[in-house]
Structure 1
């Protein structure tokens, strides 16, 4: 099998493997041409998820023209894209951080080097053979929340499983993330909260990792509710291996997602890039347990930079627990809302009313007392009786005013009056 260059893939996409994927991919929108689909798939093979230069070039010029730019080695076109959408990559050499032309040359070089090694047709054939599908913008299954990433949105998503990401990642989707080195306390919080939320129809999103991620997925599965695992590597390499059975269960019942093509190994930078996808797919991001420098905090940071931003919540832990230091830091810095139960998370979803605000019966009836009457009631001992003149002295009111307040409190059933003595009912 011969390799296809990006230019050949873009030009011949209507007859090449992308066409087969279009029939396998659910609900490809008419507006999304086959050439665009094939170009997006090719870019997912050419560029890392964190390659902002690739995203800038394709946003400014288009995905198909981006492949033509690579084929021509058009340095000016890439430099122009970087001027329109500047790249801020702290991991790049210093010269590339200040010199856009140097950054453009480096981008072309790395794309060209990978172009010589990729086999787009083989990757697509392998994905279809394993039962995967590719979802691109414009498809019915493309999650609209990813549009909030702007130029940093994935070129495409590789999906495996019967679940529809576009439907599951709706206004009730909740991301639950945290430390891999979790404690029993954190795992119990994650699993119980996820189970309650999933049982009520919310989709629980996480990254399929050890610790809090796995606990959240297991809780959702146990409740029979939907859950999505967003992986950092190719879906043909379920990682971590210790969660193989869990990830297979998610794949069988719901869906696994990745912007990395099959054959891609998970790496630290891919995990960090993956976190932005988890944040964008959700409406609320809950950090259950995270140390001071936990990678889960990057998901919270991404959530805050989206437009519109996602609500971030954090579950508190013992003040002596290093495993919860990151959660406490988020709350202290006003970057997260403190939550302690599933109901409080649910209230953060768009359009949800705070518990108790929708029903008079759920509110404390004492809150509706006139302040003067409430002051008189508070002065009545809970387990003994008091004379009315002593009560008037306690609250600093005239006896006639206290008698009037007691009459109202008696009518409401809060006190009982016998002669000159009053007590609580």
Structure 2
């Protein structure tokens, strides 16, 4: 979006058009566009409104019904925090007793919205003028949320009365490629971390692939998954980490929220052994947080390989930290052998899960030449160092 498109959307005609559009349908978008142009609507406004309609449809996965009253850019939506996760962020500041929080890199304003909804006074800044303008629109219903265009790191936080700080540095290049090195974030992670010398209550959203050795010793590092997908990691300092430094995982889903963290004294390395009657796949946030041993402890199990995050057990013990499967067969991996086993079972639709193997699922599926009506799942991994295939069914 450019400033001209934003001006068109914020005009009375533009805002009315955006609110009147039907739910976005890719197959009907061209017809809707042509109809509006025949009715005399400015083609530039039509294009801008349909683009926002498409983005709002995508944004519902993160913002639910709130998306219908917001404005987006593709890049901003990509990095925006889901409201369910942003609410958890905001809760930390409220519990810590913060009253005025500075969001130094507010983007489209998702985290600032969640904070303002909890009654926190928010000062939101962004270095990109258009992004700051969109955040202003998205935060318009919150009188205690102020948006400024500028460098958040240049703020005099003491003079502003700020007692809590949040930052979500950009982790993509202009071309859309992910920045995995925290030094290449915009702003760099070290620059953001320096803020805690002035305001100890600092929270920073980082990429979930951040190496453990780059996590500051005074941080609670928490990896977050939503419905099994790892969406972020956060670094929390001072009063925002009331249990002190360590690693934790937050699992959000239809069943609610589960939080686990490294216990005092750490975790013993789990045993390694044969594949038992059940296979457990730890949630990605649990794996990222280094808490697979906790899964093994809960299910009274062991690892199938010392380098692989699959846990096996001889009896079924339910845990919210992993997805559990009943083991149907275990075999050395080989295309011919696996093809024969699947045909004997009449498998025609196969879910392929992999860890610790270079096999490309789509290429393997073609080689297997599946025929039949049965659904099945195969796990390709290493068992005691050997490439193996484990046929399973979800419990």
Per the TM superposition, whether the score is higher than 0.5 is no
Higher-strand-fraction structure: 2
Higher-helix-fraction structure: 1
- Name which one, 1 or 2, has greater alpha-carbon Rg: 1
TM-score computed with the length of structure 1 as normaliser: 0.24
The higher-RCO structure (CA 8 Å, 6+ apart) is 1
